[in-house]
Structure 1
Amino acid sequence: MRKRLVDALKYIVHIDASANRIALSSGLGMVIGFSPYLGFHTLLATIVSVGLRLPIYPLMIGAYITNPFTIPPIYAFLYKVGVILTDSNKKDLNWNIHSFSELITLAKNILWPLFVGCHVFGLVAGVVTYFVVKYLLIKYRGY
């Protein structure tokens, strides 16, 4: 496991692109990885990579921060962030569903805080990742 991580980091360091472009790719990958669009992360990362001509490897690493093992804790955390940011009260969730309209209301009460939490935290994680990766690449590469 450690060897695979070291190999991945070595690969990123030696990508033929500027530190700025690799860092941008990494940061956008994190934004995509924390987005609520499950099932579309690979597609989004590919579109961003091709559209902005960024290296795809750092984008995919960020996009795959959410995987079947990490989805439950990450999205639970992001939902809580969204509840705080939207001032939602999760105690208002009514789990006694007797009609389709009650199901839609429950979905809205869950999805809006999740949507907000995912995007806000994703942007913060993306910006932090950008600066950390850029700093490390500049320090490692010596320029």
Structure 2
Amino acid sequence: MFQRRDKPKLHHRARDFLWPSLGWKRSTAYLFHRVARLPGSSYSIAAGFACGAAISFTPFVGMHFILGALFAWAIRANIIASAIGTAVGNPWTFPFIWAWTYNLGLWMGAGGQEVDVDTMDFSAIFTASMDAFLELDMVFLIDTAGPVLWPMFVGGLPTFIVVWLMAYFPLRPLVDGYQQRRIERRMRKSAANKQMEVE
């Protein structure tokens, strides 16, 4: 019902990801329908989405899908919902997320000398850190990336918990109500079909 017959091209998908052609309100409603229609209980779906949303506030860029899925699996939540939830972390929100978790981590006592977030290129740090990890360049990871990633990790921990709770508790009753309405519609449709057969 919600699938498109003609799949959009790659550059159209990239454009819609940055600025949805449907508008933010309709895109949010569409995303909710995609989540609510997933198989599983309201707990499983809401908890899975919360896992994906919360994991986006950790500095493990490039691993959010995997880590969100692992966390969802650990608490018996919907893994597909966790993948959808990672959309909370996107090019529009990441700059605010990174600045928030970094400054919060510094405030909590992690890290040493504070660096102005306005002049910090977080994307370049994450890219270089991934390359250093693959190349086992521990000197770069400890001396260069560490002073940035460690405060983000520390600041991301309490943020993870808060975001998970803020995503889970409002979403679960919404999914529960959506599923109940779907059941009622199916029952009415089934009753109407039986009535037609009798006539």
Q: 1:82-135: CA deviations, max 9, x gaps?
A: 112226664489xxxxxxx8x955644332211101122012111221111113
Q: 1:137 to 1:61 in 2, by over 3 A?
A: same
Give the equivalent residue in structure 2 for 1:97.
none
Contact in 1 for aligned 2:53/2:163 (Cα 8 Å): yes
Give the equivalent residue in structure 2 for 1:18.
41
Please state if 1:129 is matched with 2:167: yes
Contact in 1 for aligned 2:49/2:167 (Cα 8 Å): yes
Query: Paired residues, what number?
Result: 136
Q: 1:92 to 1:20 in 2, by over 3 A?
A: closer
Q: Given the two structures, how large is their TM-score scaled by the length of structure 2? A: 0.55
Question: Equivalences for 1:74-85 in 2 at 5 Å?
Answer: 74-85=97-108
Q: 1:89 to 1:52 in 2, by over 3 A?
A: closer
CA RMSD in angstroms, aligned pairs only: 3.2
Deviation at 1:35, TM superposition (A): 1.5
Deviation at 1:13, TM superposition (A): 2.0
Deviation at 1:18, TM superposition (A): 0.9
Paired letter, 1:112:
W
| Counterpart Cα distance in 2 of 1:92 and 1:73 | 15
Q: 1 or 2 for the larger relative contact order (CA 8 Å, sep ≥6)? A: 1
Please, which runs of 5 or more residues in structure 2 have no aligned partner? 1-22, 117-138, 182-199
Question: Equivalences for 1:62-77 in 2 at 5 Å?
Answer: 62-77=85-100
Q: Given the two structures, how large is their TM-score scaled by the length of structure 1? A: 0.73
Structure 1 or 2, whichever has the larger Rg, is 2
More moved, 41-50 vs 16-25: 41-50
Identity %: 27
Please, which runs of 5 or more residues in structure 1 have no aligned partner? 94-100
Q: 1:17-73: CA deviations, max 9, x gaps?
A: 111111110121122211211111123234445666643342123223222333222
Give the equivalent residue in structure 2 for 1:138.
176
Q: 1:141 to 1:35 in 2, by over 3 A?
A: same
Q: 1:130 to 1:82 in 2, by over 3 A?
A: same
